A and B are shown apart, each in its own frame.
Chain A
Amino acid sequence: MAIRSLDLASPARRSDAKLLIDGASKRFGSGANAVLALKPIDLAIGAGEFLAIVGPSGCGKSTLLNIVAGFETPTSGRALLDGNTIGAPGPERGVVFQQGALFTWMSVLDNVAFGPRALGRGVAEARAIAERYIELVGLSGFANHFPYQLSGGMQQRVGIARALANEPEVLLMDEPFAALDQQTREILQEEIRAIWRRTRKTILWITHSIEEALFIATHVVVMTARPGRIKAAFACDFSRDSDPLVTTTAAFSEAKRTIVALLRQESLEAQRQEAAV
């Protein structure tokens, strides 16, 4: 079997974590209307690891990413990058959203050059950087197009190039391929693996697709239905295999079955919660 259960918040992992989530929880609202979205989460992510979080919808996985991004403040606990508490969004944590986050009024080139410009680089230098990342995501020749002239998959490539252009230490990706069709998604999954192998960024990836998580990540975390907590965590080797057909192997199916079984109970629970509202 190519996945191994492990404790992602063990003392050894905590001590050399790049990104540490230290008992972070989140409650929305107050009084009788308060909703506990996230139970205290402990998670240590090492430098260069690619960690995917899967969970049923509404389990708080996006909330967890928002805490790391600095968009939300945790109700208790904290998130730390290199030992420093995260309090606000910052360029060392690049974020790729699901869709609708590109600057519609800017060309692809200006979208990607936005980060370097915001960090004080000159126009020419920012453009040169942007061109390099536009090429990296395979969009050379589209630099002067506007986002609305591109397909959904190409727009996500722009989003990835834009996040990479600041050379962030950590990439946070919130279901970036969820709105794409299956074929486009598979191609982009292979490319993100290639980009990760090349750059060795630390990546936190939110998804609802078990297959996607197993295919691209070095570590997979399964979350429970709301209030979210970590149900299981695995180290996983498929992302090290350069063959995209690894998803058709018996070992992959076996791993998928393990996680599907875990997630199924939680999805049923999530549905039961929804029906109760």
Chain B
Amino acid sequence: MANGTETVAAPVDEDVPVRRLARRDRWLGLASFAAMLVVWFAITGSGLWPPLVSATFLPSPVAVAKTFWSLANKGYQGHTLLHHFLISLMRFGIAFTFCVAVGVPVGLLMGMHSGVRAVLDPPIETTRPIPKLALLPLFIIWFGIGELSKTIVIIAAVFPLISISAMQAVRAVSLRKIQAAQSLGASRRTIFWRVLLPASLPGIFTGLRVSVGIGVTMLVGAEMVATSDGVAWMALTAADFVQTDVVLVGVLIMAALGYGLDQLFRALEHRVVHWTGKD
């Protein structure tokens, strides 16, 4: 991009000391992760020395890896591991997609139109303090024991977060930018698509990233009741039989799912809203 000859404020990532610090911190992060793994190896013995805790309580990483391999090949309780993973991902994906597709427009409308806000604010605000997982039994009565009640309990938790962050994002758009667009002759339509929406995107993305974590948590809760597949269901069922290695495989898959989704949204954020915080 730098095709000019005058001096331009250097973007931060071209700053050498900053980059060196970032590299150091990445190594520190990796070292911290490795240390946790080493502790796990050490206290479980890993077949090299007698374990400090019983394998029933904490199987060694090697045992967990072996269990993962066997589950991946033979499946668990009639379904392949891939099936369990995909069904969990689908439950999360459908609920989250609905929340983005409906929650973001609803939030934007609430932010731009005081009438819409007056109508929608009370239901969202009054139900916000209710832990949504507590509503799951009610949802099962209303929507049955199928996929619908599981999807709805995730939506119930994530939708308010996404719509409120979109509302706050659009309300925080600086009046000057809107006035600038007005005095350049922009129509209301143009102002929405080219000013309000892009200016709200950084705030919307922050809401999405927070919601990913909450959504995965709700997924675990939703698979606790009236299910026969899914990664969280597998872990919970295995716990009944004290199959700690299977439980750990489930937990690690859920952790990887949460981490992977967060990284995905982080990368999207970096690409789509590169101007975040640089006003």
- Chain A positions within 8 Å of B, measured between CB atoms, are 69-71, 88-91, 93-95, 97, 100-106, 114-115, 118-119, 141-142, 144-151, 154, 162-163, 166, 172
Contacts and interface: CB of A to CB of B under 8 A. Distances in A.
A154 B8 CA distance: 9
Contact of A118 (B5, B9, B190, B199): B190
Secondary structure call for the B interface: loop
Contacts, number: 103
Contact of A104 (B9, B182, B187, B278): B278
Given A101-B176, A141-B3, A149 B190 contact: no
Contacts of B3: 141, 144
A162 B179 contact: no
A114 B183 contact: no
17 contacts: A69-B179, A95-B183, A100-B174, A100-B279, A101-B180, A103-B177, A105-B273, A105-B275, A114-B184, A114-B194, A118-B181, A144-B3, A148-B275, A150-B8, A151-B8, A154-B8, A172-B183
B278 A148 contact: yes
Given A114-B181, A163-B184, 11 more contacts: A70-B183, A100-B177, A103-B199, A104-B278, A119-B185, A142-B6, A144-B1, A145-B8, A148-B275, A150-B8, A162-B180
Contacts of B7: 151
B195 A103 contact: yes
Nearest to A165: B184
Secondary structure call for the A interface: loop
B160 to A, nearest CB: 27
B199 A97 contact: no
A141 B179 contact: no
The 10 closest A-B pairs by CB, nearest first: A91-B185, A141-B4, A148-B278, A89-B182, A115-B184, A118-B186, A101-B176, A105-B198, A89-B183, A95-B183
B9 A90 contact: no
Contacts of A70: 182-183
Contacts of B4: 141-142, 145
Interface of B: 1, 3-9, 11, 174, 176-177, 179-187, 190, 194-195, 198-199, 201, 273-275, 278-279
Contacts of B190: 118
Given A118-B184, A148-B275, A89 B179 contact: yes
B102 to A, nearest CB: 24
B186 to A, nearest CB: 4
A101 B199 contact: no
Given A103-B195, A118-B185, A166-B184, A97 B176 contact: yes
B11 A149 contact: yes
A190 B184 CA distance: 25
Contacts of B179: 69, 71, 89, 95, 97, 101
A150 B179 CA distance: 22
Contacts of B201: 105
A269 B194 CA distance: 44
A100 B176 contact: yes
Nearest to B182: A89
A118 B185 CA distance: 6
Nearest to A69: B183
A91 B184 contact: yes
Contacts of A142: 4, 6, 8
A63 B198 CA distance: 28
Nearest to A120: B185
A69 B278 CA distance: 28
A208 to B, nearest CB: 18
